[in-house]
Structure 1
Amino acid sequence: MAALNSIPGEVHCAQDYEILARHFLSEADYAYIAGGCGRDSTLRANREAFDSVRLWPRLLRDVRHGHLASTLLGHALPHPIMLAPLAYQTLAHPQGEIDVARAAAATDSCLILSTLSGRSIEETMPHAGEARWFQLYFQADQAATLDLVRRAESAACQVLVVTLDTAIKLPSLGALRSGFSMPARVVAANLTNYRAPAQLALARGQSRIFQGAMAGAPNLDDLRWLLGQTRLPIVVKGVLHPEDALMLKAMGIAGLVVSNHGGRSLDGAPASLEVLPAIRAAVGPGYPLLLDSGVRSGTDIFRGLAAGANAVLVGRLQVYALAVAGALGVAHMLRLLREELEACMAQAGCATLADIGPQMIYRNKDEA
């Protein structure tokens, strides 16, 4: 079914877009978008982690001066809801990331455009608001990586987000069983002018994984090289371990995205929300941390902020809303999330983001 030109009456909360998207996507396309990796155990863990967190509201707090504003990496944020980098959004809507950028501009939201976007940097960024970041995958050809950085700089992107947790990707078994294959019309628009890397010839006894798929995986030297190529702050996405967080901070990385790639990296990894408090404890209170993977509501955003995040990335919800109603749907979804967060804050007794902290999470005596 083609996307609507209006907001459907069935949408009462942001997560309703996930339900409605089934009617606007083929079964196979929905399975690919909704799926994680392998048997989807980490995908399920993300949701279970949010659902398990109980909030501890306070009474008689004056929230009449309440707002969602903050600063992150030196930039003002009207609210802490950011659009996560998602690949191939033209799978859900012909305009793809262009419509997502329009929605971001209309709602004062930060867009993080994927290297694997279905619309290019040059096509998309003129439609975005001032808050625009670019997510970078290292390319096999270093010159191509550097060209992507220069294109992001030319498009006035404020931050580079380097994803490091998916050098190898295993598809969801659910997507495979549905018969999904990427349509020919859906391409990584940012990469079309780069030469595809030559296929490695493996010697007898070599592994398709270790010597094949992982041969071009980024390493510490690549990250050090990138730090020397741009003045843009670099944020690393895909961090789940406190020791990795400390190493990256010491290298000069400006911030981290605590993420398991929405359950699409290592199946069996912990939920992002579960490890966030330990990473916050490791890097200290002033270091920028963002949370990604599993967010479906304003209450989830509150939980992420209470667990230590400065801002939260919204992934699949944006593509569900895009499939249902294009730019209008994405903008509406973001407005709903913002109002859901405001309602949660008001009921919990928090007037500003600074009021949200670990003291807002209830733990019984067995968890203390």
Structure 2
Amino acid sequence: MTSPPLSGAPPHPPRITLADFHEAAREVLPTAVLDYLDGGAADERTVRWNAEAYQRLALLPRVLTGTAGVDTRCTLYGTDLPAPVLLAPTAAHGLFHPEAEAATLQGAAAAGALTTVSTFSTLTLEEIGAAATGPWWFQLYVQRDRALTEDLVLRARAAGATALVVTVDTPVTGLRERDLRNGFALPSHGMPANLAGGAAAPGRNPSEPAHGGIHDPRIDPAVSWSDLERLRSVCGLPVLAKGVVRADDARRAAESGIGVWMSNHGGRNLDTAVAPLTALPAVAAAVDGRVPVLVDGGVRRGTDVVKALALGADAVAVGRPYVWGLAADGAEGVTAALSALHRETELALALLGVPDLTALTPDLVGPAW
């Protein structure tokens, strides 16, 4: 008979859902840091709508399909993945764990997932490339200094990034009232590791207007479609536009061969912006399979994953959930959070009566009420 431990804290309860990792992160993160991670813009309606969009949809499973197994594998720009879930870019992982993005990359690779690394990472692109053992993409905020912008892209490619994700929904930073109330300033906005030598705004709270105005002195608000095409020619990598929610913008991207990443920045910029899932059917129809369509915002369950794919997405991305895992248990927490979502996705496919992702069709979802 095994004796109980004589000392030390009792083991934590099993963490089997993303909500469990959220509770674990809540226990270890300072209030201001957790608010930065979980919060959104203004009244945070869009943050809530992102999750509620999935809750408003019901699944309509098929029966007696003879399906004996399920296959969740997918391919994005030549990279084979065991599940259609990737890591969305989030800034400054050093806030959440001492090993920062190195732990995130390690945990994602163990789960077979693809990581999207933020311009505002704690580690440099070169350090990220050295730490990566799995596939990763680079997320870019276009800088006013275009030479610096192109240098970032070339550094990312040299370090091992296989695609470029350009954030297009952030000409200005949203009104993040939790951060203002907490007096919280993201360390990487003072002198981001990847922007050393570029224009900086030491000590400025990113939620506050810069120089009496609304614009960040570094990020260029005047980015256009031609800039994305220019960046693609510079880096020679696939380019995705992150922040698309309109069918006309998605059509424009597809016509240029630019991938569509549907997002509203996790509800952190324009409050009351539409939830990506709500806009997905129209966007998928406009793209018509010409380029991949990715969706983030509000994914918390495997059933959410299959709903998004049934409505036309090729994959989903999660941001806050894997950071909860990172904060709770480092690399192992990232792996466990992603593995939980993968397991739930497999179960959802099996219970829907479909054998693989290609069999997820719009008739499998309907209004919940």
Give the TM-score of the pair, scaled to structure 1.
0.89
Match of 1:248 in 2: 253
Structure 1 184/109 Cα, relative in aligned 2: closer, same or farther at 3 Å?
Answer: closer
d(CA) in 1 for partners of 2:201 and 2:38?
29
Q: Secondary structure of 1:290's match?
A: strand
Q: Is the 8 A contact 1:91 1:186 kept in 2?
A: no
d(CA) in 2 for partners of 1:215 and 1:295?
30
Give the AA of the match of 1:290: L
Q: Secondary structure of 1:11's match?
A: coil
Could you report, residue by residue, the CA deviation over 1:43-84 in whole angstroms, capped at 9, with x for unpaired residues? 111011011110001112233232111222233222111011
Q: Is the 8 A contact 1:257 1:289 kept in 2?
A: yes
d(CA) in 1 for partners of 2:191 and 2:212?
28
- Once the two structures are TM-superposed, the CA of residue 163 in structure 1 deviates from its matched residue by 0.6
- Out of 339, 342, 346, the residue aligned to residue 335 of structure 1 is 339
Alignment of structure 1 residues 168-187 onto 2, 5 Å? 168-183=172-187
d(CA) in 2 for partners of 1:47 and 1:133?
25
Q: Is the 8 A contact 1:61 1:350 kept in 2?
A: yes
Deviates more, 1:294-303 or 1:169-178: 169-178
d(CA) in 1 for partners of 2:25 and 2:147?
39
Q: Is the 8 A contact 1:140 1:197 kept in 2?
A: no
d(CA) in 1 for partners of 2:347 and 2:11?
21
Q: Secondary structure of 2:164's match?
A: strand
Q: Is the 8 A contact 2:175 2:269 kept in 1?
A: no
Deviates more, 1:186-195 or 1:218-227: 186-195
Match of 2:238 in 1: 233
Q: Is the 8 A contact 1:259 1:293 kept in 2?
A: yes
- Once the two structures are TM-superposed, the CA of residue 207 in structure 1 deviates from its matched residue by 8.2
Give the AA of the match of 2:75: T
Q: Is 1:275 equivalent to 2:286 in the alignment?
A: no
Could you report, residue by residue, the CA deviation over 1:281-303 in whole angstroms, capped at 9, with x for unpaired residues? 11113431000111111111111
Q: Is the 8 A contact 2:166 2:239 kept in 1?
A: yes
Q: Secondary structure of 2:261's match?
A: strand
The percentage of counterpart residues that share the same residue type is 38
Structure 1 195/169 Cα, relative in aligned 2: closer, same or farther at 3 Å?
Answer: closer
d(CA) in 1 for partners of 2:106 and 2:356?
27
In the alignment, structure 2 segments of 5+ residues that lack a partner are: 1-9, 205-210
- Once the two structures are TM-superposed, the CA of residue 127 in structure 1 deviates from its matched residue by 2.8
Match of 1:32 in 2: 36
Could you report, residue by residue, the CA deviation over 1:121-158 in whole angstroms, capped at 9, with x for unpaired residues? 11123332342111111111111111111111112211
Give the AA of the match of 1:237: K
d(CA) in 2 for partners of 1:256 and 1:184?
27
- Once the two structures are TM-superposed, the CA of residue 196 in structure 1 deviates from its matched residue by 3.3
Give the AA of the match of 1:244: D
d(CA) in 2 for partners of 1:250 and 1:197?
37
Structure 1 33/59 Cα, relative in aligned 2: closer, same or farther at 3 Å?
Answer: same
Q: Secondary structure of 1:237's match?
A: strand
Match of 1:357 in 2: 361
d(CA) in 2 for partners of 1:289 and 1:213?
29
Structure 1 130/184 Cα, relative in aligned 2: closer, same or farther at 3 Å?
Answer: closer
d(CA) in 1 for partners of 2:185 and 2:214?
21
Match of 2:222 in 1: 217
d(CA) in 2 for partners of 1:92 and 1:337?
21
Structure 1 322/186 Cα, relative in aligned 2: closer, same or farther at 3 Å?
Answer: farther
Could you report, residue by residue, the CA deviation over 1:95-120 in whole angstroms, capped at 9, with x for unpaired residues? 11110000111111101111111112
Structure 1 209/331 Cα, relative in aligned 2: closer, same or farther at 3 Å?
Answer: same
Q: Is the 8 A contact 2:144 2:220 kept in 1?
A: no
Give the RMSD, CA atoms, in angstroms.
Answer: 2.6
Give the AA of the match of 1:242: A
- Once the two structures are TM-superposed, the CA of residue 214 in structure 1 deviates from its matched residue by 8.0
- Out of 142, 145, 168, the residue aligned to residue 146 of structure 2 is 142
Structure 1 305/96 Cα, relative in aligned 2: closer, same or farther at 3 Å?
Answer: same
d(CA) in 1 for partners of 2:155 and 2:324?
28
Give the TM-score of the pair, scaled to structure 2.
0.89
In the alignment, structure 1 segments of 5+ residues that lack a partner are: 1-5, 200-205
Q: Secondary structure of 2:234's match?
A: coil
Structure 1 172/221 Cα, relative in aligned 2: closer, same or farther at 3 Å?
Answer: same
Structure 1 210/102 Cα, relative in aligned 2: closer, same or farther at 3 Å?
Answer: closer
Give the AA of the match of 1:136: L
Could you report, residue by residue, the CA deviation over 1:262-286 in whole angstroms, capped at 9, with x for unpaired residues? 0012111010110011100111134
Aligned residues between the structures = 353
Q: Is 1:94 equivalent to 2:98 in the alignment?
A: yes
Match of 2:3 in 1: none
Q: Is the 8 A contact 2:172 2:221 kept in 1?
A: no
Q: Secondary structure of 1:303's match?
A: helix
Match of 2:83 in 1: 79
